[in-house]
């Protein structure tokens, strides 16, 4: 999904302390997040062997987005770290 790619890019940019470019990708993810919710299907993961349902995946996706966005806002408020 495109929203996952945008979140990964934002997180990678955060690791490089590039909050400005990370914000670009997080804004793209914010636009795509509503349509990505519910797009997952139930499947078995090989290492857990339990079904991951849409609600689990949606909650994880939203948690990743919120965490990433909070870190971007934190970097903008306190750039002198």
pLDDT bucket at 56, cuts 50 / 70 / 90: low
Beta-bridge mates of residue 43? 52
Please give the tally of structural domains in the chain. Answer: 1
- pLDDT tens digits for range 20-39: 899 999 999 998 888 877 66
Domain that holds residue 45: 2-77
Average pLDDT value over all residues in the chain: 78
Q: How far apart are CA 34 and CA 50, in angstroms?
A: 26
Q: Which of 46, 33, 23 is nearest to 2 (CA)?
A: 33
């Amino acid at each position: 999904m495109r929203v996952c790619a945008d979140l990964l890019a934002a997180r990678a940019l955060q690791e490089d302390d590039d909050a400005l470019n990370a914000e670009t990708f997080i804004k793209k993810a914010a636009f795509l997040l509503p349509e990505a919710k519910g797009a997952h299907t139930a499947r078995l993961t090989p290492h857990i062997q339990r079904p991951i349902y849409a609600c689990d995946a949606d909650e994880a996706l939203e948690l990743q987005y919120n965490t990433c966005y909070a870190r971007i806002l934190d970097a903008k408020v306190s750039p002198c770290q």
